[in-house]
Every structure is written in structure tokens, then in C-alpha cells.
Amino acid sequence: MRSFAWFLGLTALALAAIAVFAYPAWTLLHPFFDFPFHRVGERIGMLALLAGFLLVARRLRLADRASLGYGLPRRAFLRETSLGLALGVASMLAVVGLMTALGLLDWRPAAGLTGMDLLRLVRCAPAAASRWRSSKKRSCVERCTPRSNANPERALLCC
């Protein structure tokens, strides 16, 4: 019960930090960046929660791996994480199937992309990231798209 009270106190502290610091921070940032007000307030609340948690965790003796939920041996942790991932994917596939059966999802190709384009994008992502860092190689747009009909939306899909 004491830990729950600390958690409620941290939540109240974060909300108070949003109320006090969000507008001044937004006023300072707005001339230079076009961040929406709610995003600045959310980040201030997150920072207040993080700072509060770091301070309170040591006081409540929650600063070790086991207390934070990472105390399992690596093999058991990976097994549990994989099981959670599999259950999450299966439940989302069930929701997508139900929404499709009820006609709530529109499966027309968005922005002219097909399933094969998405597969090529997934296959190409690591290579594109390494190419992005390398200035000596041609960019994906130059390599994949003919100069006569450049299509920037499909630039990464042709790797």
C-alpha cells in the first residue's frame, strides 16, 4: 500500500510539473521549433516521472534488476519475452481478422504499395540504414530509380 501511495504521489507531481512548466517551455521553444503544446507538456511530464522514479526507487529499495522485473536468468527471460510476443501477435491477428470480417478495414493498396513492396522494404531496411551512413556509395534513390521517372515514394522499396 505504501508503494501505491508513492506511485500516486509521483503521478500528482508529474501533473503539477506539467501545469507549472509546460507553458513556459512551450513559449521558449515555439519560436525555434513548431512543437504542439501537448507534446511539450507530455515530455515534461515524462521527465518529471523519470526523475521522481529514480529518486523514489532507491528509497523503496527498488533499484535492482530483480525488483524491476529483470531478475530471471537470460534463458527464462527470453522464453517469457518470446511467449509474450507470440501471444501479442496472435491476439492482434485475431483483432485484424475480426475487423476484416466485419468490413471495418479497407485493404486497398495504400499509396500504391503492394505486399511485395512492403516485403522488399523490410528486406532492404538494414542495408538502407548502412547505406545512409556511407557517403561514398550512391543513395538508394540514385541506385534504384531511373532519372527519367523519379518517384520518391518508392525510393526505398526498390533495394
Residue at 127 is within a domain: yes
Residue at 96 is within a domain: no
Last residue of a domain, one of 59, 78, 100: 59
Residue at 35 is within a domain: yes
In angstroms, the CA 21 to CA 39 distance is 13
pLDDT digits (tens, 9 = 90+) for 92-133: 999 999 998 898 887 776 656 677 777 777 777 676 666 655
Spatial contact of 156 and 143, defined as CB atoms under 8 Å apart: no
Could you give the count of Cα atoms lying within 13 Å of 47 in the half-sphere of its Cβ?
11
pLDDT digits (tens, 9 = 90+) for 3-25: 789 889 999 999 999 999 999 99
In angstroms, the CA 77 to CA 69 distance is 10
Handedness of CA 59, 64, 69, 72 (dihedral sign): negative
Residue at 149 is within a domain: yes
Last residue of a domain, one of 35, 59, 83: 59
53: containing domain: 2-59
Please, what is the average pLDDT of the chain? 80
Residue at 37 is within a domain: yes
| Verdict on whether the full-model pTM lies above 0.85 | no
- pLDDT beyond 60 at 139: no
Last residue of a domain, one of 37, 59, 81: 59
Residue at 67 is within a domain: no
User: How many domains, in total, are found in the chain?
Assistant: 2
Could you give the count of Cα atoms lying within 13 Å of 57 in the half-sphere of its Cβ?
13
Residue at 64 is within a domain: no
In angstroms, the CA 52 to CA 13 distance is 8
Residue at 8 is within a domain: yes
pLDDT, position 135: 44
pLDDT digits (tens, 9 = 90+) for 56-65: 888 888 878 8
Helix 2-29 / helix 37-59 crossing angle, nearest 10 deg: 140
pLDDT, position 137: 44
In angstroms, the CA 137 to CA 131 distance is 7
Kindly state the helix (H) or strand (E) to which residue 152 belongs, with its residue range.
none
Quick check: helix, strand or coil at residue 5?
Answer: helix
